[in-house]
């Protein structure tokens, strides 16, 4: 199965019931075949409930749906990597995962309610080699990374002990932060880039809104389409980009899945000019100077 280029995001839902309804509707009525989750999102159990029901009713077969989940930043110890994935599989009610990612290349801790970087006890190479074993024993079809910069991607690429290169790098990517250098680097090496916060990660005080961008609205009006699917389509056309999109609205999720239209070269050029290098997601003290 090829990785579906549109994934349903499952972070920051208000309740398990909301997750179950969203996953069920998106798979059954909107054609979604890729769900992105993680232990940290606390959505795996609800997704497992929804998937079990969908499989039981014959809506979709296991081999027809792609599930991505993640190893969290406090679980880099190679000795616990397998047990962490087994925990996710139990919550998801699955025998294997399609894609397992190292969520962050660094460890964090919460101090006074704020997330901060701490020095990792384990090298990323050690953790990655433990990830490779998950493929060897059939618990993961593919493995990848998230929030890695080019320097860290190179560290994995040149390491002689590495047998499997990352399948994807999942990073923040949207109209206002288009990840041109990262996309070029990954595409040259046959690695997918997976875009989170693709529609702008909600409202952030003092920061511009992706979906209220004037150029995006103009292009959407020209195409006769809502702004969100135009934003998704734009990102997909930048290269081998898998876009994660999320809404609690069934109607919005349906709109986001209706991507059977094209954006002209002229419109693409206009939208590319919207990149202002704006991040919505960041952690104080992140130790890497280049963009990720």
What secondary structure does DSSP assign to the chain, as a single string? Answer: -PPPSEEEE-SS-S-HHHHHHHHHHHHHHS---EEE--GGGT-HHHHHHHHHHHHHTTSS-GGG-EEEEEE-TT---GGGHHHHHHHHHHHHT-S-EEEEEES-SSEEEEETTEEEEE--SS-HHHHHHHHHHHHHTTSEEEEEEES--HHHHHHHHH-TT--S--SEEEEE-BTTB--HHHHHHHHHTT-EEEEESTT-SS--TTS--STT-HHHHHHHHHHT--HHHHHHHHHHTTTTEEEEE--S-HHHHHHHH-------HHHHHHHHTT-----S---TT----S--
Determine, yes or no, domain membership for 283.
no
Instruction: pLDDT band for 118, please (50, 70, 90 cuts).
Output: confident
pLDDT value, residue 282: 75
Q: Cβ(59)–Cβ(27) under 8 Å?
A: yes
Instruction: pLDDT band for 203, please (50, 70, 90 cuts).
Output: low
Instruction: pLDDT band for 141, please (50, 70, 90 cuts).
Output: very high
Is the pLDDT score of 173 beyond 70?
yes
Q: Which residues constitute the domain of residue 198?
A: 6-273
Q: Cβ(168)–Cβ(144) under 8 Å?
A: yes
pTM (global) more than 0.85: yes
Residue 76 assigned ligand-binding role: no
Q: What are phi and psi of 207, to 5 degrees?
A: -115, 145
Catalytic residue among 32, 41, 100, 196: 41
Active site includes 177? no
CA distances from 161 to 22, 129, 164 (A): 41, 8, 9
Determine, yes or no, domain membership for 288.
no
User: What CATH number corresponds to the domain at position 65?
Assistant: 3.20.20.100
Determine, yes or no, domain membership for 126.
yes
Determine, yes or no, domain membership for 287.
no
Is the pLDDT score of 137 beyond 50?
yes
Is the pLDDT score of 290 beyond 70?
no
pLDDT value, residue 202: 63
pLDDT value, residue 284: 61
pLDDT value, residue 292: 45
Cα–Cα dist 96/119, whole Å: 31
Percentage of the chain with pLDDT > 70?
Answer: 95
pLDDT tens, residue by residue, 51-110: 999 999 999 999 999 999 999 998 999 999 999 999 999 999 999 999 999 999 988 777
Cα–Cα dist 214/227, whole Å: 10
Instruction: pLDDT band for 112, please (50, 70, 90 cuts).
Output: confident
Determine, yes or no, domain membership for 68.
yes
Tokens, residue 214: 């004037």
| Minimum mean pLDDT range among 39-53, 71-85, 110-124, 139-153 | 110-124
The residue among 49 and 116 whose pLDDT is bigger is 49
End-to-end CA separation in angstroms for the chain: 28
Instruction: Give me the mean pLDDT over the 29-36 stretch.
Output: 98
pLDDT value, residue 88: 99
Total domain count for the chain?
1
Summary mean pLDDT of the chain: 94
Q: Cβ(283)–Cβ(147) under 8 Å?
A: no
Cα–Cα dist 69/215, whole Å: 34
Instruction: Give me the mean pLDDT over the 143-163 stretch.
Output: 95
Determine, yes or no, domain membership for 1.
no
Is the pLDDT score of 121 beyond 80?
yes
Instruction: pLDDT band for 201, please (50, 70, 90 cuts).
Output: confident
Determine, yes or no, domain membership for 70.
yes
Determine, yes or no, domain membership for 161.
yes
């Amino acid at each position: 199965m090829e990785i579906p280029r549109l994934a349903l995001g499952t972070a920051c839902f208000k309740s398990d019931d909301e997750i179950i309804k969203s996953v069920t509707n998106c798979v059954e009525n909107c054609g979604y075949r890729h769900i992105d989750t993680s232990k940290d999102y606390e959505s795996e159990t609800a997704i497992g409930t929804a998937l079990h029901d969908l499989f039981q009713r014959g809506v979709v077969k296991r081999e027809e749906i792609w599930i991505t989940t993640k190893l969290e930043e406090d679980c880099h110890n190679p000795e616990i990597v397998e047990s962490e994935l087994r925990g996710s599989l139990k919550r998801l009610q699955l025998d294997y995962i399609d894609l397992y990612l190292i969520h962050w290349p660094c460890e964090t801790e919460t101090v006074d309610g704020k997330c901060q970087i701490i020095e990792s006890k384990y090298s990323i190479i050690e953790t990655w080699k433990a990830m490779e074993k998950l493929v060897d024993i059939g618990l993961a079809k593919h493995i990848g990374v998230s929030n890695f910069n080019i320097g860290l991607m190179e560290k994995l690429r040149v390491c002689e002990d590495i047998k499997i290169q990352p399948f994807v790098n999942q990073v923040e990517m949207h109209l206002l932060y288009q990840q041109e250098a990262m996309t070029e680097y990954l595409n040259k090496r046959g690695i997918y880039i997976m875009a989170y916060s693709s529609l702008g990660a909600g409202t952030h005080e003092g920061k511009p809104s992706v979906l209220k961008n004037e150029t995006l609205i103009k292009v959407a009006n020209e195409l006769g389409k809502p702004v969100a699917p135009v934003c998704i389509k734009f990102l997909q056309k930048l290269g081998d980009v898998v876009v994660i999109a999320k809404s609690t609205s069934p109607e919005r999720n349906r709109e986001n899945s209706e991507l059977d239209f094209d954006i002209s070269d002229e419109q693409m050029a206009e939208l590319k000019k919207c990149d202002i290098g704006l991040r919505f997601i960041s952690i104080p003290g992140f130790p890497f100077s280049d963009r990720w």
